[in-house]
């Protein structure tokens, strides 16, 4: 999902900065608990005030003498008042891929007001933006 979403954004860059939490389900329902409290806090901070994040140095290799660090674009970032979304993929085999992008505020509103503990694809489509992902499109990148 991360690869497809990243390649989709490369082909269709947003006009403003955004932050995303990606969630995947095969069950037809996405539990509200799938978005963890620290993720909700970070999405709200990014959209309502500011969020600072240090990108960790990631090494690969098991030999301490020959460890390598993955290249990263920079050490940290700070985002201020950006749009914040939960991006959901209700996976169904052998169907066209589509993601549903919903603001964190709408996600939290539905969590508070729906009499259920999960979102269905039908409800998510009603309150979010459906984004079709074309396989031929993202494979070219």
Interval 13-70: pLDDT, tens: 999 999 999 999 999 999 999 999 999 999 999 999 999 999 887 776 666 666 666 7
H/E stretch holding 22: strand 18-25
**Block residue for tokens 């549903």:** 100
Contact 5, 99 (CB under 8 A): yes
The whole-model pTM stands at 0.85
Helix axes 37-48, 104-113, angle to 10 degrees: 130
H/E stretch holding 100: strand 97-103
CA distance 106 to 136: 31
Token digits of residue 112? 């508070």
Q: Over the stretch 81-135, which tens digit does the pLDDT of each residue have? A: 999 999 999 998 888 889 999 999 999 999 999 999 999 999 999 999 999 987 6
């Amino acid at each position: 999902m991360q690869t497809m979403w990243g390649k989709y954004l490369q082909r269709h860059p947003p006009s403003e900065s955004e932050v995303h939490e990606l969630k995947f389900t095969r069950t037809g329902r996405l539990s509200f608990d799938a978005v963890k409290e620290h993720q909700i806090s970070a999405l709200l901070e990014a959209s309502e005030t500011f969020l600072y994040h240090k990108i960790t140095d990631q090494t690969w290799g098991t030999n301490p003498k020959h460890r390598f660090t993955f290249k990263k674009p920079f050490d940290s970032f700070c985002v201020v008042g950006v749009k914040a979304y939960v991006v959901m993929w209700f996976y169904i085999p052998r169907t066209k891929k589509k993601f549903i992008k919903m603001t964190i505020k709408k996600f939290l509103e539905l969590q508070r007001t729906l009499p259920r503990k999960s979102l269905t694809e039908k409800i998510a489509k009603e309150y979010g933006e459906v984004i079709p992902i074309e396989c031929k499109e993202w494979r070219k990148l």
